[in-house]
Amino acid sequence: MNLDLMRLIVKQFLEAPFYGVRQMTWHLRNEDHVVNEKRSRRLIRLMGLMPIYQEPNISKAAKELKTYLYLLRVLRVERPNQVWCADTPYLPPLGRFALQIA
């Protein structure tokens, strides 16, 4: 029975390579096969099939983000306390009250 299911999965995968486990399970159930997601996931993994999907492009910077110039590039630091740095994390307001850090 597993070989029959695997044959049907490959046949459907060639027609629609974007089907994942859920859609493949739905397709097999519509063809009157008793299968659950766990079984179809195991068979798809056994065959080494991987659906095609668009991955998020996280390497591009968002257009609305502002880039700031690095102003210390031309400055030569020669003594202590000449340059200071502060990190101000974003703290979302809690209801009507704002969190104060001392």
Low-confidence ranges of the chain (pLDDT < 50): none
pLDDT at 14 (0 to 100) = 94
- pLDDT computed for residue 3 by the predictor: 94
DSSP string, the chain: -HHHHHHHHHHHHHH-TT--HHHHHHHHHHTT----HHHHHHHHHHHT-----PPP--SSPPTTPPP---TTSSPPP-STTSS----------BTTBPP---
pLDDT at 79: 93
Q: What is the pLDDT of residue 13?
A: 95
Give 80-95 pLDDT, tens digit per residue.
999 988 877 776 666 6
